């Protein structure tokens, strides 16, 4: 378990469009990655087994047919896509294909042979307080890639320093992790925080991605639903968060039915993931493809290439989407949702 705590000046910057109920700088984004979570796990559990995910479906917008990266359906490559809004491979990809704890001296920039900006960097450099709460040690990759030594100098407005993640915290016990996050968030809210919940992935690798009632995998999904419920209760009962907090939820991959793996990138069970958006200005019960019909297309059972004319909603949309909710510009060098044309809010000023 690792704790890092830093304090930084919060300076609010107004960029882009926000829901009309909030002004730039007023909102809070909590971005959650449910590692290894298949979208149909929520369907299999039903409203009784997953009441909080069903609340998000009723009160927010979602799809059960979002996509991972085209080439990789494993954890770190996809999470790096989430935080950089880039695909994995190719000239413009982030190129991080390793899925283990980073070795001494490794970081995103050294591997890419150029600086890779991120959602943490943009939020931080615009004066927003950032946090990363992870349940796998390999997520130290992001802490060591955006610390006071490896982070790029802040040239946006006041100098907030090179350390782009104000608080990094790791605990493999997700019940404890959520409790620690809630304690921190209610004391001094992060403007942008990322949470990683490992439970579905751990159950899938141990006992398979099995959707039969009572399976270890569905029990893990039920546990994740309960963790989401604790966050919703926190938001509902905390005046500083109620009415000004967005939840953005997706996954890094699913899992192939009946197996203990998810690395095969041609299997729909592996590359099909959920994407949820909930909070101020987001309409209830809406399909995200319906809200984004001009810029995204439901891929059916396919996972199109990045050069396809019609792109699906991907987990890589998340970084720039979260920044757009905060009224901040896109991640420099990003290629997924770089125009920030993936929307979930119906009202803008």
Shortest CA distance to 29 belongs to which of 226, 178, 168, 231? 231
Q: Output helix, strand, coil percentages for the chain, rounded to the nearest 5.
A: 35, 15, 55
Cβ atoms of 317 and 31 within 8 Å: the answer is no
Mean pLDDT (whole number) for 244-260: 97
- pLDDT-above-70 percentage for the chain: 92
Mean pLDDT (whole number) for 280-293: 97
| pLDDT at residue 285 tops 70 | yes
Mean pLDDT (whole number) for 158-163: 98
**HSE-up of 276 (CA within 13 Å, CB side)?**
29
Residues near 252 by Cβ (< 8 Å), separated by ≥ 6?
Answer: 33, 35, 36, 68, 74, 75, 78, 79, 82, 201, 273, 315
| pLDDT at residue 348 tops 90 | no
- Tell me how far apart the alpha carbons of residues 124 and 168 are, in angstroms, rounded to a whole number: 14
Rounded to the nearest 10°, the torsion over CA 282, 283, 285, 289 is -70
| pLDDT at residue 2 tops 50 | no
Domain edges within the chain: 2-325
> CA geometry: angle at 200 spanning 181 and 36, to 5°?
100
Q: How confident is the model at residue 91 (pLDDT cuts 50, 70, 90)?
A: confident
**Tokens representing 64?**
């059960």
The model carries a pTM of 0.93
| pLDDT at residue 84 tops 50 | yes
Mean pLDDT (whole number) for 303-319: 96
> CA geometry: angle at 100 spanning 177 and 79, to 5°?
60
Query: Residue 9 has what pLDDT?
Result: 28
Q: How close are the terminal C-alpha atoms of the chain, in Å?
A: 43
- Tell me how far apart the alpha carbons of residues 69 and 85 are, in angstroms, rounded to a whole number: 10
For 99, 101, 203, 318, 334, the CA distances from 107, given in Å and listed in that order, are 13, 11, 29, 21, 18
Q: How confident is the model at residue 345 (pLDDT cuts 50, 70, 90)?
A: confident
| pLDDT at residue 349 tops 90 | no
Cβ atoms of 86 and 119 within 8 Å: the answer is no
Per residue in 33-66, pLDDT tens? Answer: 999 999 999 999 999 999 999 999 999 999 999 9
CATH code for the part of the protein at 2-325: 3.40.720.10
| pLDDT at residue 17 tops 50 | no
Q: How confident is the model at residue 26 (pLDDT cuts 50, 70, 90)?
A: confident
Whole-number average pLDDT of the chain = 93
Integer-rounded Cα radius of gyration of the chain: 18
Q: Which residue has the tokens 């030594």?
A: 149
Per residue in 166-215, pLDDT tens? Answer: 999 999 999 999 999 999 999 999 999 999 999 999 999 999 999 999 99
Residues near 288 by Cβ (< 8 Å), separated by ≥ 6?
Answer: 61, 62, 63, 66, 275, 277, 296, 313, 344
């Amino acid at each position: 378990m690792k704790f890092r705590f830093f304090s930084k000046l919060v300076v609010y910057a107004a960029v882009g469009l926000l829901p009309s109920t909030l002004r730039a700088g007023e909102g809070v984004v909590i971005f959650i990655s449910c590692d290894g979570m298949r979208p149909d796990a929520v369907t299999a559990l039903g409203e009784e087994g997953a009441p909080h995910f069903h609340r998000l479906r009723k009160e927010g917008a979602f799809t059960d047919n979002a996509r991972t990266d085209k080439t990789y359906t494993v954890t770190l490559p996809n999470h790096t896509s989430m935080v950089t809004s880039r695909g994995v491979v190719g000239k413009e990809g982030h190129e991080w294909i390793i899925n283990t704890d980073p070795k001494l001296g490794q970081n995103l920039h050294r591997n890419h042979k150029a600086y890779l900006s991120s959602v943490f960097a943009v939020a931080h450099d615009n004066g927003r307080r950032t946090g990363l709460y992870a349940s796998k040690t390999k997520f130290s990759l992001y802490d060591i890639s955006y610390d006071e030594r490896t982070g790029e100098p802040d040239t946006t407005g006041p100098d907030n320093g090179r350390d782009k993640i104000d608080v990094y915290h790791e605990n493999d016990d997700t019940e404890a992790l959520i409790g620690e996050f809630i304690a921190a968030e209610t004391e001094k809210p992060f403007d942008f925080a990322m949470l990683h919940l490992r439970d579905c992935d751990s159950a899938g690798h141990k006992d398979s991605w099995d959707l039969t009632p009572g399976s270890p995998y569905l029990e893990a999904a039920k546990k994740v639903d309960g963790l989401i419920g604790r966050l919703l209760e926190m938001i509902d009962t905390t005046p500083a968060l109620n009415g000004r907090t967005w939840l953005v939820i997706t996954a890094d991959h699913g899992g192939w039915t009946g197996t203990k793996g998810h690395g095969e990138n041609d299997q729909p069970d592996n590359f099909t993931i959920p994407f949820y958006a909930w909070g101020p200005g987001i309409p209830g019960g809406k399909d995200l493809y319906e809200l984004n019909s001009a810029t995204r297309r439901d891929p059916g059972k396919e996972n199109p290439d990045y050069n396809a004319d019609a792109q699906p909603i991907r987990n890589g949309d998340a970084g720039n989407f979260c920044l757009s909710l905060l009224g901040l510009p896109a991640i420099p060098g990003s290629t997924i949702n770089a125009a920030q044309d993936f929307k979930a809010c119906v009202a803008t000023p």
